[in-house]
A and B are shown apart, each in its own frame.
Chain A
């Protein structure tokens, strides 16, 4: 199974800050990585697909990059509504797998 190691597990930032966190895959040649935003009591929401593609309707302050084994998710200008836990998820190989999550909190 591909393990997705996400870091940090949590971070605190202020409104307007640029925040980034990463996901490291345990195997090379991972191409298909999605990023989800998850708020309590709600279904996870797709933000970025295939590492760097912005899902329709998602604000452009969200972005993703990376390939191979290293992937990065960035919020350029943190907003209060962005407080959530974010998960990477790979589907390059079965079984699918999630990263451990990064909880974004307000400083």
Chain B
């Protein structure tokens, strides 16, 4: 069965970077986009960006342009999200999610368990 396993919680200081991993299993890794979504405390879901593990192509929400990088390692079926220049506003739970697009409907069908990133001095 499909499973997305994310790395553990992180505590970072303002100005630092964080890298979160998402190990996929149970499906052909390069066949589906991997998306990244975050949820700050008491806030809604916020879309960050996506990567095509087959081509390496990425697409980012404008808010994260220049500060977000996404990558994948096909040898380990793992996707990575790196966010730079952290501020307290980046304190959130970060999710990876698979985008189902092979057939209708197109939607986020599987989610990782979430990684809490806390930014504090």
Which interface class (under 10, 10 to 19, 20 to 34, 35 or more) fits A? 20 to 34
A82 within 8 A of B: no
Q: How far in angstroms is the closest Cβ of chain A from B24?
A: 15
A73 partner residues in chain B, CB cutoff 8 A: none
The count of chain B contact residues (Cβ–Cβ below 8 Å) is: 22
Interface residues of B in 70-121 (CB under 8 A from A): 97, 104-111
A67 beta carbon closer than 8 Å to chain B: no
Give bound CA distance, A84 to B117, whole Å. 24
Contacts of B104 in A (CB 8 A): 49-50
- CB pair B45–A44 under 8 Å, yes or no, is yes
Summarize B's interface: helix, strand, loop or mixed: strand
Most A CB within 10 A of own CB, among B45, B60, B63, B97? B45
Q: Whole-angstrom distance between the alpha carbons of A89 and B61 in the complex? A: 14
**Which residues of the partner chain B approach A96 to less than 8 Å between Cβ atoms?**
35, 47, 50
Interface residues of B (CB under 8 A from A): 35, 37, 44-47, 49-50, 59-63, 97, 104-111
Q: A44-B111, A49-B106, A50-B104 are in contact. List 6 more A-B contacts (CB 8 A).
A: A1-B61, A32-B106, A34-B105, A96-B47, A97-B61, A98-B44
Query: A: which residues have CB within 8 A of B?
Result: 1, 32, 34, 36, 38, 43-44, 46, 49-50, 53, 55, 85, 87, 89, 91, 94-101
